Amino acid sequence: MKIVVAIKQVPERDAPVRIDAAGRWIEEADLQWALNESDAYALEEALQLKELHGGEVVVLSAGPERVGSTIREALAKGADRAIHIDCEDLGQRDALGVARLLATAIQPEDPDLVLTGLQSDDLGYGQTGVILAELLNLPHASLILHVEKSDTGITVKRELEEGWFQNIDLPLPAALTIQSGGAKLRYATLMGIKRAKTKEVRRIAAAELSAPPEAAVVLDRIALPQKQKITQVLSGSAQEAAAALVEKLKFEVHAL
Amino acid sequence: MPLGISPMTIWYPRRPAAQSCIVGCSTMVPMPFTLAEPAAFPLVERILFAALAIASGSLFWRRFGPIFHRILQSKKDADFRLAPVGRRVWDFVSEVLFQSKVIRQRPLPGIAHAFVFWGFCAFALVTLNHCAVGLGIGFLSPEGFFGRFYFCFAAVFALTCAIGILGLFIRRFLVRPRWLGAKLSWESGFIAFLIFFLMATYLAAFFVPAGSTAITVLWWLHTLTLLVFLPIIPHTKHLHLVLSPATVFLSRGSFSRIPPLAGDEDFGLVAGTDLTRLVSLQAYSCVECGRCTEHCPAANTGKTLNPKEIILGLRSYLNEFGPASSEPLLGKHNPPVAPFQCTTCGSCEFQCPVGIEHLPILVGLRRGAVNTGAWDDDHGAKLFLSLERGSNTLGMQAGERDKFIQKQQFPIFDGTQEYCLWLGCMGGYDPKGREIVADFARVMRYLGTTFGVLRKEKCTGDPVRRLGNDLLFQQLAEANLEALAQNKVKKIVTICPHCVRTIQEDWKEYGTPPEVEHHSEFMARHLSRLPRPSQQDSIVYHDPCYLGRYRNVYAEPRTVVSHSGQLLEAERHAERSFCCGAGGGLAFLGEETGERVSHVRAKELVATGAKTIGTACPFCNSMFRDALASSTDTAPQLLDIAQLTARALPQQDTSSAS
Ligand code: SF4
Ligand code: SF4
């Protein structure tokens, strides 16, 4: 099976994010970068499929020079080769624009399966993967936790609300957006990094793929979320209050 | 003769010639015994002796040769330097010749062993002469002054050696301490018998008339014992007679030294091809004394890991597969879980009398498994991933540390302050660790010492270093070294002995770390300016492994504790202190199998009856906190030495840094 995984480099989880002077994007200068979380799960899913059924895993990422480090990390974890779309203005492209870039790069690869993360940790549109599937004219499913190969194609486990899941059969080729938490991520190893050095990274300039289109969605202003403190008094007997508290911790704050 | 590498190679006893007086000349006081030596041997006997000696020698080499080759065929130790030779000579004199470690750590059997060893040394000359006599070229004459003197001198050693070996025999076969293993070793008994018999035949020659048949019989008995003993050496733990002096002399030289990986294909100890000469030499030197096991927190709490078996496992591997094999080291001879149960407390390496360095081996095996991705562990992967993506081992947001710094109003280090106060993961994120740092900061402020904290700090990499993740360790070390250099930090002080060790020793591989000290050292230096608390409770002090065995700091924290109360010692303390169970990354690896190390240690500390347990490491503190919480009886107070000291400070600090 040939699998293309589209991944994105986003600011590290702990990065102190600051809004830039124009108020339209964040200051990138001092940031540390990491692989987008759900993309890490998409990559893991691809690697596990390859381990079971053989084939090839190709990672694809768009962004400036710095994206190279994330690509190397993916190669170190076991991807076979990579395509780096050189693109300085990723932040200015909307989901459709980015999906066009990715789709053009994927087409000649003619993969059996295209995986992306469910959404990016920075913009959080949750659209790029789905639009990409449409552009490639592939059947697709979103919020996927697990993929299994079947005789006719694949069976995927899809997350619904409140602990409900759905199993769907899809033919191949197909495109899926992967939800975080479905698999155990592997850690990067020294051996992986050393081996990655010899793996192919093909760089394509964004301009070769498509002219920057007129964006349909424009970022007008971004802001840090307001911090808020809310105090709630839970009424009722101790038991009822405790039950209500557990409920809130579980479903409102997601602390349990 | 197998002179091997050792100065004590050919030993054994006996034999002198007929004369009724020794020491001085015949006009001196006659001795109550004779010193008998056979007259010249008939040719047949000489030939027989020569033939037997050659047979014994070649059998020895047939067995020892392959071992020697396996050691030499092993990979070279890329980082090995002979310098400083002075230190090596000193270790050799102290640990081999004076048997300091053997005696200090187990006095009674140690002295018994030393007697046997010294007996062997004293016998080197006697034995050489003994064999020479067999060939008719004896050079020590009981008639000459030196000969007489030497034979008597050796006799004294023969006597103490015989007593020593008898003592060791009784210990091994009658007392039978647990760590020697349940199985009785017949070969040990046989060798003990041979040694005893060598001494007895030597001494008996003093009591038989000159020229009698008895003296010839004794000579032959002695000689045959000797010739039987020699070929037994290579296939028993008595191989240490030949190898261990070299092992001690050639050791890596500093405690728990983890060698840098050599080249692009070195991932640690994966297969036979990764075993270095030092590792192979050490594997063959083990004398199976079990001191390592006796002190090992893992082996004593029901884990699979047994440091002695790790070493013997490598030896079996070398015997079966050899150093050129690509068979994994973790497998048939060493269970893959074992190295990951090690707290890296260092007791084994500290105790080993023949200079075996367990930590480079244990960490090496972990490196082999982690650097190649063979180690699959949910907790381990979680720890690695949280350090790949975040800054600390607790998996918290860096912003949490910023909040803590703000709340405590710690100044940011800007190059004008004397110290950079390194918070570490525990100090920056753990609630109790934060209390300790806050109290230590109060002490510094009280003393008027200027300090600042870094705006951003990453984990020093201690847990990943010990777990063998070289990729992550390098990233963390480099990022931190760069941040420290940018901020022009010259001196670091921290509450965590793991940070101290990692910054000072392990980072060296990637740059030049600033000077670093532990808060116990800092406070001990300034004690005279710090107030004493009015009430002086009894406090039992627990030595953290990384401060004690790793850094040799035993006295400073004790003076700090004594300043705040009455110092009590637990049964195992100082260099024999028992681990809290957190080291080597184990604090992050979830539930242990068997009994919990921290519970065993906490019980021991509680048993002293002290009102307070004094710790000097935030990890120990956290382990004991959990252990004490789960014990039902009223637990003693648990305080870091910084908290003990800060208790006596005035509530409102009058002085404040910066
Ligand atoms: S370092 Fe400590 S825990 Fe590890 S094997 Fe040695 S004694 Fe046991
Ligand atoms: S490794 Fe050292 S301490 Fe352990 S049994 Fe062998 S010789 Fe003794």
Read off the pLDDT of each residue in B604-617 and give the average, rounded to a whole number: 95
Pocket mutation for ligand 1, best pick of B179, B292, B334, B342 (most atoms within 8 Å of C-beta)? B342
Instruction: Indicate the Cα dihedral angle B543, B545, B549, B552, nearest 10°.
Output: -50
**Residue having the nearest C-alpha atom to atom 5 of ligand 1:** B307
Ligand 1 contacts CB of residue B351 (under 6 A):
no
Each residue's pLDDT tens digit, B513-530: 999 999 999 999 999 999
Report CB contact under 8 Å: A187, B469.
Answer: yes
Ligand 2, atom nearest to B285 Cα:
7
Whether ipTM tops 0.90, in short, is: no
Rg value, chain B, Cα: 29
CA angle B241, B245, B249 (to 5 degrees): 165
Whole-number pLDDT of residue A120: 93
Read off the pLDDT of each residue in B39-59 and give the average, rounded to a whole number: 90
Read off the pLDDT of each residue in B323-351 and give the average, rounded to a whole number: 96
Asked whether B17 and B37 are in contact (CB, 8 A), the reply is yes
Reduced to 3 states (helix: H, G, I; strand: E, B; else coil), residue A68 is helix
Whole-number pLDDT of residue B179: 74
Alpha-carbon distance of B600 to B578, in angstroms, equals 9
Q: Does A189 contact chain B (CB < 8 Å)?
A: yes
Alpha-carbon distance of B95 to B247, in angstroms, equals 11
Residues B243 and B264 in one domain: no
Reduced to 3 states (helix: H, G, I; strand: E, B; else coil), residue B276 is strand
Backbone angles phi, psi at A66, to 5 degrees: -60, -20
Question: Token pair for residue B422?
Answer: 């390194």
Residues B460 and B559 in one domain: no
The CATH number that applies at residue B273 is 1.10.1060.10
- pLDDT tier, A13 (very low <50, low <70, confident <90, very high otherwise): confident
Asked whether B417 and B451 are in contact (CB, 8 A), the reply is yes
Range of the structural domain that residue B361 is part of: 259-371
- pLDDT tier, B161 (very low <50, low <70, confident <90, very high otherwise): very high
Alpha-carbon distance of B397 to B387, in angstroms, equals 11
Whole-number pLDDT of residue B32: 45
Residue B604 lies in a domain: yes
Residue B254 lies in a domain: no
Asked whether B50 and B135 are in contact (CB, 8 A), the reply is yes
Residue B386 lies in a domain: no
Read off the pLDDT of each residue in B102-129 and give the average, rounded to a whole number: 91
Residues B96 and B188 in one domain: yes
DSSP secondary structure code for residue B408 in this structure: H
A24 pLDDT above the threshold of 70: yes
DSSP secondary structure code for residue B391 in this structure: S
Each residue's pLDDT tens digit, A38-76: 999 999 999 999 999 999 999 999 999 999 999 999 999
**Which chain A residue has the Cα nearest residue B475?**
A190
Q: Does A195 contact chain B (CB < 8 Å)?
A: no
Residues B195 and B74 in one domain: yes
Alpha-carbon distance of B266 to B363, in angstroms, equals 14
Alpha-carbon distance of A70 to A74, in angstroms, equals 6
Residues B151 and B187 in one domain: yes
Amino acid letter, residue B203: L
Mutate to test the interface with A, among B388, B402, B454 (most CBs of A within 10 A): B388
The CATH number that applies at residue B70 is 1.20.950
Alpha-carbon distance of B392 to B402, in angstroms, equals 13
CA of B362 to the centre of ligand 2 (A): 14
Give me the residue from A12, A184, A190 closest to B267, CB to CB.
Answer: A190
Question: Token pair for residue B598?
Answer: 């921290």
Ligand 1 contacts CB of residue B308 (under 6 A):
no
Residues B74 and B216 in one domain: yes
- pLDDT tier, B39 (very low <50, low <70, confident <90, very high otherwise): low
Residues B603 and B494 in one domain: no
Residue B649 lies in a domain: yes
Chain mean position to CA B214: 48
Which regions of B455-559 does DSSP assign to beta strands (E)? 491-494, 515-518, 537-541
Each residue's pLDDT tens digit, B178-221: 777 777 788 888 999 999 999 999 888 888 877 788 888 888 99
Give me the residue from A12, A34, A189 closest to B370, CB to CB.
Answer: A189
Report CB contact under 8 Å: A190, B399.
Answer: no
Residues B111 and B205 in one domain: yes
Residue B383 lies in a domain: no
- Residues of chain A found within 8 Å of residue B389, distances taken between Cβ atoms: 12-14, 34
CA angle B403, B408, B412 (to 5 degrees): 80
Whole-number pLDDT of residue B36: 60
Q: In chain A, where are the structural domains located?
A: 2-209, 227-256
Residues B197 and B345 in one domain: no
Each residue's pLDDT tens digit, A205-222: 988 887 766 778 888 888
Using alpha carbons, select from B128, B124, B107 the residue that is nearest to residue B158. Answer: B124
Residues B123 and B43 in one domain: yes
Ligand 1, atom nearest to B349 Cα:
6
Residues B291 and B227 in one domain: no
Last residue of a domain, one of B339, B371, B403: B371
Question: Token pair for residue B221?
Answer: 């008995």
Residue B377 lies in a domain: no
Mutate to test the interface with A, among B379, B389, B454 (most CBs of A within 10 A): B389
B288 pLDDT above the threshold of 60: yes
**Beta carbon pairs, A and B, within 8 Å:** 55
Give me the residue from A12, A13, A192 closest to B373, CB to CB.
Answer: A192
- Residues of chain A found within 8 Å of residue B472, distances taken between Cβ atoms: 187-188
Using alpha carbons, select from B108, B131, B103 the residue that is nearest to residue B13. Answer: B131
Ligand 1 contacts CB of residue B342 (under 6 A):
yes
Residue B380 lies in a domain: no
CA distance A44 to chain B (A): 13
- Residues of chain A found within 8 Å of residue B267, distances taken between Cβ atoms: 190-191
Report CB contact under 8 Å: A188, B472.
Answer: yes
B15 pLDDT above the threshold of 60: no
With respect to CATH, is domain A2-209 assigned 3.40.50.620? Answer: yes
Ligand 1 contacts CB of residue B347 (under 6 A):
yes
Whole-number pLDDT of residue B4: 35
Give A 7-46 residues with CB within 8 A of chain B. 12-14, 16, 34
Using alpha carbons, select from B322, B367, B589, B613 the residue that is nearest to residue B469. Answer: B367
Residue B382 lies in a domain: no
CA distances for B603 relative to B15, B352, B607, angstroms: 57, 26, 6
Domain total in chain B: 4
Strands A9-11 and A33-35: antiparallel
Mutate to test the interface with A, among B274, B363, B371 (most CBs of A within 10 A): B371
Residues B203 and B291 in one domain: no
